[in-house]
Amino acid sequence: MALAALGWVLADGQRAERFLALSGMTPETLRAGLADPAGQNAVLGGVLDFLLSYEPYLVAAADALDISPQALAAAREKLV
């Protein structure tokens, strides 16, 4: 679910830029984090934190992924 949310974030250039700016990641560190099993939870947790911090994105992502916003919040809790 978090990986699908990342796909949704990255599908829009402005959203992707905002995510990278707010998370402090670069495209390279994002790719490296996803490639490293130990870093995946941090990257995916960061994506969910990004969505949870801005309700319009949270609702739009949940709608696009055909899940509830609460399911995204629950997914974040599981990554802790």
User: Which tens digit of pLDDT belongs to each residue from 14-24?
Assistant: 999 999 999 99
> What average pLDDT does the segment 38-62 reach?
96
Q: Is the pLDDT of residue 38 over 90?
A: no
- The CA–CA distances, whole Å, from 59 to 33, 38, 71, 79, 80 equal 26, 29, 11, 20, 22
At 77, which amino acid appears? E
Q: What is the pLDDT of residue 79?
A: 86
Answer for the pair 4, 44: CB distance below 8 angstroms, yes or no.
no
* Angle between helix 37-52 and helix 69-78 axes, rounded to 10 deg: 140
What's the pLDDT band for 74 if we cut at 50, 70, 90?
very high
Answer for the pair 23, 46: CB distance below 8 angstroms, yes or no.
yes
